[in-house]
Structures are given as structure tokens and as C-alpha cells.
């Protein structure tokens, strides 16, 4: 933003921070094609100009797909996220039929009680969709959509663990954020 010479607005206090809000935090080690953020500027700049300035100053593999002006009175971006879609590419060989069976079990389960930070919760209502994709070359991967509710957000690593898959070697990429209308 600074390299693009955008007139960022900063918070007050001893350690002023730029007023930038991400729609949903991306867990460490995951990649994304679907980041959405709010940025407050001190002065009006046309969305097309913002887009051009960012594109001219970002690394080539980071793409700006859309810039829109939004009303400051709208609810916070974080409160508008309903769910997130992920592609999970498995780096270790897996039996596709066995994986499909496990996914079906998870999707049919009435509940999947898990523990996070010493508290128990039910993961099952947070898994909106989970499917196994088998490519023509035999590679198998997963598509998962997880709910993002206030106080309860589905996490891809938890979904992988209920399938018996270690999340560390998997390549997890967020492909889409789904917002309230």
C-alpha cells in the first residue's frame, strides 16, 4: 500500500496501525486465491486508480481482481463471511475409495465432537460440503466448504484430522469466501 502511494488512514495512539481489516484470517501455512479486505484511506481515490497502483507494485504472483468503494456504515467485513471453500491437495498417496468412504461417514455423522483450546465443540455442523475429486491421472484431492459462524469457524486442519489425514503435508488453498447478501 505504501509503495503504491495510497493515502492510508492510521489508528491513533503510541503505535499507529493502518486501518486494514481482513475478511477472514488465513491459518498459517495455507495459501489463498480469495482474500478480501477493507482499507480506509484519508482521501478519495478512484477504485481503478487503486487497482492500477497496486498491480504496478505487487509481486507478479499476487493478483488484484477487484477494487470497490464501500460505505463505511456497512457492518464489519468479518461479520459478513458465511463460509470458506478450500481445495486440499494431498501430497502423500491415498486410496481414493477408502477416502470416499471416510468422507461419506463424516457427512452422514450426526456429530463430530472435537476439542480446541480445552473446549469441546461439534465440528459436523461446520462442514457444509466435502467431496473427493479423482483426476484422470489418478491423483486424488478434496473440495471442502466450511462454515464461518460467530464464535465457531470450521478449520480445514480439523476436517482433515477427522478423515485421518495429517494436515501438515497437505496443500490447503482457500479458493473462495462466501458472504451474506
CATH number assigned to the domain comprising residue 91: 3.30.2350.10
Q: What is the pLDDT of residue 14?
A: 94
Residue 126 domain-assigned (yes or no)? yes
User: What grid cell was written down for 129?
Assistant: 460440503
Q: Tell me whether residue 111 is exposed, middle or buried, using C-beta atoms within 10 angstroms of its C-beta: 0 to 12, 13 to 18, 19 or more.
A: exposed
In the numeric block, the cell 504496478 is attached to 56
Residue 152 domain-assigned (yes or no)? yes
Residue spans of the chain under pLDDT 70: none
Residues 6+ apart with CB under 8 A from 156: 27, 30, 86, 88, 144, 146, 167, 172
User: What grid cell was written down for 82?
Assistant: 458465511
Residue 145 domain-assigned (yes or no)? yes
* Cα–Cα distance for residue pair 82/24, rounded to 1 Å: 10
Maximal CA-CA distance, the chain: 57
The model's pLDDT over 120-172, given as tens digits with 9 standing for 90+, comes to 889 999 999 999 998 888 789 999 999 987 778 899 999 999 999 988 889 99
Residue 11 domain-assigned (yes or no)? no
Q: What is the pLDDT of residue 26?
A: 87
Residue 58 domain-assigned (yes or no)? no
Residue 149 domain-assigned (yes or no)? yes
User: What grid cell was written down for 89?
Assistant: 491437495
Residue 114 domain-assigned (yes or no)? yes
Provide φ and ψ at 124, rounded to 5°.
-55, -45
Q: How many domains does the chain have?
A: 1
Q: What is the pLDDT of residue 104?
A: 96
Query: Rounded to two decimals, what is the model's pTM?
Result: 0.88
Provide φ and ψ at 40, rounded to 5°.
-100, 130
DSSP-derived letter for residue 26 is P
Note down the domain range covering 105. Answer: 81-179
Residue 55 domain-assigned (yes or no)? no
Cα separation values, 16 from 12, 96, 139, 154, 157, Å: 5, 51, 48, 32, 34
57: left (phi over 0), alpha (psi -120 to 50) or beta: alpha
Q: What is the pLDDT of residue 76?
A: 87
Amino acid at each position: 500500500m505504501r509503495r503504491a502511494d495510497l493515502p492510508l488512514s492510521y489508528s491513533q495512539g503510541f503505535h499507529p496501525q493502518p486501518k486494514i481489516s481482513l475478511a477472514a484470517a488465513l491459518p498459517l501455512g495455507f495459501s489463498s486465491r480469495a482474500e478480501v479486505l477493507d482499507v480506509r484511506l484519508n482521501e478519495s481515490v478512484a477504485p481503478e486508480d487503486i487497482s492500477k497502483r497496486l498491480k504496478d507494485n505487487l509481486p507478479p504472483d499476487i493478483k488484484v481482481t477487484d477494487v470497490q468503494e464501500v460505505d463505511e456504515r456497512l457492518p464489519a467485513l468479518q461479520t459478513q463471511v458465511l463460509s470458506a471453500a478450500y481445495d486440499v491437495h494431498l501430497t502423500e498417496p491415498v486410496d481414493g475409495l477408502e477416502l470416499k468412504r471416510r468422507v461419506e461417514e463424516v457427512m452422514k455423522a450426526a456429530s463430530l465432537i472435537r476439542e480446541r483450546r480445552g473446549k469441546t465443540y461439534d465440528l459436523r455442523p461446520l462442514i457444509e460440503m466435502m467431496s473427493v475429486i479423482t483426476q484422470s491421472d489418478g491423483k486424488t484431492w478434496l473440495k471442502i466448504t466450511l462454515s464461518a459462524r460467530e464464535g465457531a469457524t470450521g478449520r480445514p486442519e480439523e476436517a482433515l484430522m477427522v478423515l485421518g489425514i495429517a494436515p501438515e503435508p497437505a496443500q490447503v488453498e482457500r479458493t473462495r469466501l462466501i458472504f451474506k447478501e
